[in-house]
Amino acid sequence: MIRGNANVGDSAHYRRNRPCRRTDGRPIRGRRLAGGGHRASQNTQDVPTGVRIRPTDLSDQTDVERLVSEVAPAVIVHLAAVIPPQIHRDPVQARKVNVDANATLVRAAEAQPRPPRIVHASTCSLYGPHNPHHQTELLRADTPARPFEHYGRQKQEAEEIVRSSNLAWVVLRLGSVDPAAMPFSASETDAIQRHLG
């Protein structure tokens, strides 16, 4: 199940990633954010067979619990976030997605008879401002977090929720995401799926 693909889940993204299926042949489910001040797109044109979009209000605990229970995913890819510059306009509303909805999702996943693994998309913003002309060392998992603004602080909280859960998890601290720059081939998609199980 892919959570939070409203902004990156356009039809071109789905067409490129058409081979994305679970190893047992069941389709991957996508969810688009419908709550928290965001409007879910209802455009399902050009979505490949087997991909199902389920608009879900991620701020509604009952809605999230129902979805996780009905889909019963083996893996949840958690992409939902309110990012800069939108987060600066309303950090309180952004927190409802970046932290609170994340906690709701984790709790719903933990409550499943067969809890899914979670792949949590985080950010390099946890490291604070980085000037490559003065800081030449590589950022590593053990580099101390020093979030400087709302987004980094909220994603740090969200990471802690995932890390302290009973779920098998991986956190990806991404520098940026550009779906147009990620045209995975069928063999790359298969390799990712084998790794995720």
Q: What is the CATH number of the domain that holds 130?
A: 3.40.50.720
Dihedral angle at the C-alpha atoms of 123, 170, 162, 186, nearest 10 degrees? Answer: 80
Boundaries of domain holding 30: 2-196
Confidence class for position 23, pLDDT limits 50, 70, 90: very low
Structure confidence at residue 43 (pLDDT):
54
Structure confidence at residue 90 (pLDDT):
94
Domain count for the chain: 1
- Mean per-residue pLDDT for 75-100? 92
Residue 177 has pLDDT above 70, yes or no: no
Confidence class for position 147, pLDDT limits 50, 70, 90: very high
Residue 20 CA to residue 28 CA, distance in Å, equals 7
- Mean per-residue pLDDT for 90-96? 94
Residue 15 CA to residue 39 CA, distance in Å, equals 22
Residue 122 has pLDDT above 90, yes or no: yes
Structure confidence at residue 54 (pLDDT):
83
Residue 62 CA to residue 73 CA, distance in Å, equals 17
